[in-house]
Amino acid sequence: MAEEKTMENSGLGATGNFIHNYIQADLEGELNKIHTRFPPEPNGYLHIGHAKSICLNFGLAKLYGGKCNLRFDDTNPTKEDVEYVESIQEDVKWLGFDWEDRLYYASSYFQKYYEVAVKLIKEGKAFVCDLTAEEMRQYRGTLSTPGKESPYRNRSVEENLELFERMKAGEFPDGSHTLRAKIDMASPNINMRDPVLYRISHAAHHTTGTEWCIYPMYDFAHPLEDAIEGITHSICTMEFEDHRPLYDWVVREAGYTVNPPRQIEFARLGMTNTVMSKRKLRALVEDGLVDGWDDPRMPTISGLRRRGYTPESIRDFCERIGVSKANSMVDSGLLDYCIRDDLKAKVPVVMAVLDPLKLVITNYPEDQVEMMELENNPENPELGTRLAPFTRELYIEREDFMEEPVKKFFRLAPGKEVRLKGAYFVTCTDFVKDENGNVVEVHCTYDPETRSGSGFEGRKVKGTLHWVSASDNVKATARLYDYMMLDNPDDPSGEMIMNPNSLEVKENVIIEKSIAGAQKGQRYQFMRNGYYIVDTKDTTEDHLVFNRIVPLKSSFKLK
């Protein structure tokens, strides 16, 4: 069966990896079909690292003709919220994946976990412990020394059942008792040294309310969830590798011995200048350092969506970075490369001036307006053309004029001639300064013989500038985003340092009239500048707000 599969359109790369090798070997054995799951904890918004896991789990299921569940690991009521549940569903759908009718909650299995816990107590494999969290740490031992058994480890089955039932009934305060597995305090794997299976928490749960006051630990609930749902391959990140023996122990002792789920670990995503800790992202939101979880600087999927990234670009990014066991750091420039590659032939190009400088063509008739035909996208003729009004007074970018040009400056300067995109050659004859010595107006003359499309070949110019009519345009706000962090914020030895230049706001942006009526979420290329999207939150009927997705050019080189 496995030999018939191909890697085409899997979103996982054109060649196999170690996960494929495991799955193919299983399919050549007794396994008929794979079943994966994406199991987020609803305690924050998903980020680009989760996108890698989403693409991997749903992509594998699609590739091998299997299924993938969306399951919320909601076993910690103190940190979870319905807001996160809803945002996660929206993000998975937006990325292009469908869990069909397989939406599950760990909380739906609370009764089953409880029954397994009672089973373990009856078999002498679990006990109620009264040690505090600090005492438990002291008893646990170290990597080089064995742990010490709890003084409560040898309670009778009857006493453990009674105490556990009283825990469930709410008779004890938080932190006073736990249910622990009875495995091996001398195990070289600390996770196997009588781990906690249940703790007391008198907190309302977003799905079960106050029905329960004892909640299973992740390491106990997660393997049971996989086993209950018939998951064949439980794919998780490398930090769970040391937890795998406990995962297998729980599955086995719970009685799921026929085709038990197989845990496979892969390296989590690390990106330069990017926070990959949900806890740190939450802190940025709660401390008011960003404009919510969907701030366009955030690496959350909702932030990337608002910034203007496309699902296709994120799936392409996840495919390019691949899957491995070794931790590595991905250059954030690769994600920018993917969005440029996706948009370059898709979106219309318009002329927008972000830092306007007035240009007056002194020999052009004052009341004349010519409609210049421009390509909507030079790389995609199918997008057609548009008309832009050309008038005596225009705006150009301030950086396109220099009073004293440096070497190899091919734009506008006294005595220099350039082409105005889709229009005429103009020559700078003069300029005007204000009382502070700033250039506020540039004067030029134009050559009417040089209109674009006329076939003029009398001379060549090296510079072409974009422009916008000063009298017929759209005014907008543009937000220019850069990397949010200066350092590697997930380095434990480093300090999280925000980039003070991560956001620059341009309030007086002048854009050609063709953009009037642009809808929220529409993307454009601003000629010679970058790719932009109409912001979905702050844009109003009277004023457009644009988020820069990425600059047009980058120093990043695809290897």
- Catalytic residue numbers read 41, 268, 278
Q: Which residues 6+ apart lie within 8 Å of 375 measured at CB?
A: 349, 381, 383, 385
Within 13 Å of residue 317, how many CA atoms lie on the same side as its CB? 30
Q: How far apart are the first and last CA of the chain?
A: 35
Rounded to 10 deg, the angle between the 311-321 and 48-63 helix axes is 80
Rounded to 10 deg, the angle between the 48-63 and 82-94 helix axes is 60
Alpha carbon of 495 to those of 138, 201, 280, 293, 298: distances in Å?
29, 33, 11, 21, 18
If you compute the radius of gyration of the chain from its CA atoms, what whole number of angstroms results?
Answer: 31
Alpha carbon of 240 to those of 124, 191, 244, 266, 399: distances in Å?
26, 10, 6, 9, 52
Alpha carbon of 77 to those of 62, 81, 88, 114, 172: distances in Å?
33, 8, 17, 17, 18
Beta strand pairing call for 103-105 and 349-350: unpaired
Phi and psi (nearest 5°) for 208? -105, 0
Q: How many CB atoms lie within 10 A of CB 313?
A: 22
